[in-house]
Amino acid sequence: HAKDTGRNNYQFYESRLSRLVSTRLALENRLRRALAHQEFELYYQPQVDIASGDFIGVEAMLRWRDPDEGLVDPATFIPVAEDSGLIVPIGAWVLSTACAQAEAWRREHLLDVPIAVNLSARQFDEDSLLDTVAEVLRDTGLPANRLELELTESLIMRNPELTAEVLDAAKRLGVMIGVDDFGTGYSSLAYLKRFPIDRLKIDRSFIADIAFEPDDAAIAETIVAMAHTLRIQVLAEGVETVTQLRMLRSWHCDAYQGYLCSHPLPAADMNALLRGLRAARLYGLPDVGHA
């Protein structure tokens, strides 16, 4: 009996494993096809200055419109894209599409702020990363200081020497550098100061409960204060409520991103939003404060 059970278990695991492998291979093939068939899209989420309410940046978020399954989130496909190396050509597409969009907004006088693009470890390991960036800037006409590269804290800490080299070279190009998901790794702010960082983004998990958890509030407030001591700007991720925003403002946090202002929007919706804001700027209501 024991032997039978053992064999059954073995067969069970074997078939589950082969199913996993074939699902993964199938996904990889679908991603390859998606790139060729232009099934990727970028969504855009505003980054808001907490003191003024102005948009000070926009982050590009990758989406996959799968013909069978509809819109697919990055959490589902980016790990596979990374393991297979496909993230390198996909990431190059993201860079050029995001920069072209940002330059179009500038030309139409809709918005002239940095576009933030997420980078993965695999892209970072390519010797050609900065050549790709420089080429995209040249091709799109976007000024270098209107592009911000977002690297996660764990990506930076994975190979600090290589990171320092690449980031120094990126700064020579003139692009901005942001640290994404700060707080989820194990680095200290003092250590991060070795890298040419313009901005720190506090991970959503630290912001989520600041209104209810005094410890989370204390951590977030301390990150803001310490970053400012080091002359690094701070953005809070995942802000969903006015209470959170008020707390962040009382700590002098510079900027936020989150559903409170806007979900990530398809390009057409972001264009409509920006046109509305431009109209308000040009023909807007009289300034009540001075009326």
Site for ligand C2E in 107-136 (CB under 6 A): 118-120
Closest to ligand C2E by CB, 209 vs 278, is: 209
Cβ 255 to ligand C2E, closest distance in Å? 13
Residue 41 interacting with ligand C2E (CB under 6 A): no
State which amino acid sits at residue 247. M
State which amino acid sits at residue 229. T
Q: Which does 259 bind (CB under 5 to 8 A by kind): Mg ion, ligand C2E, none?
A: ligand C2E
Residue 153 interacting with Mg ion (CB under 5 A): no
Residue 148 interacting with ligand C2E (CB under 6 A): no
Which DSSP category does 69 fall into? Answer: T
Exposure b/e, 81-98, CB count within 10 A at least 16 = b: bbebebbbebbbebbbbb
Q: Where do runs of H (alpha helix) occur along 196-262?
A: 204-207, 214-229, 242-250
What Å distances lie between residue 205 and 122, 208, 217, 220, 258, CA to CA? 25, 5, 11, 10, 12
Among 115, 238, 248, 253, binds ligand C2E (CB under 6 A): 238
Residue 73 interacting with ligand C2E (CB under 6 A): yes
Residue 62 interacting with ligand C2E (CB under 6 A): yes
Q: Which stretch binds Mg ion (CB under 5 A): 65-73, 150-158, 164-172, 273-281?
A: 150-158
Contacts of 116 (CB under 8 A, 6+ apart): 47, 57, 58, 59, 60, 148, 149, 150, 178
- Which chain residues interact with ligand C2E by CB under 6 A? 45, 61-62, 73-75, 78, 87, 91, 94, 118-120, 180-181, 204, 237-240, 257-259, 264
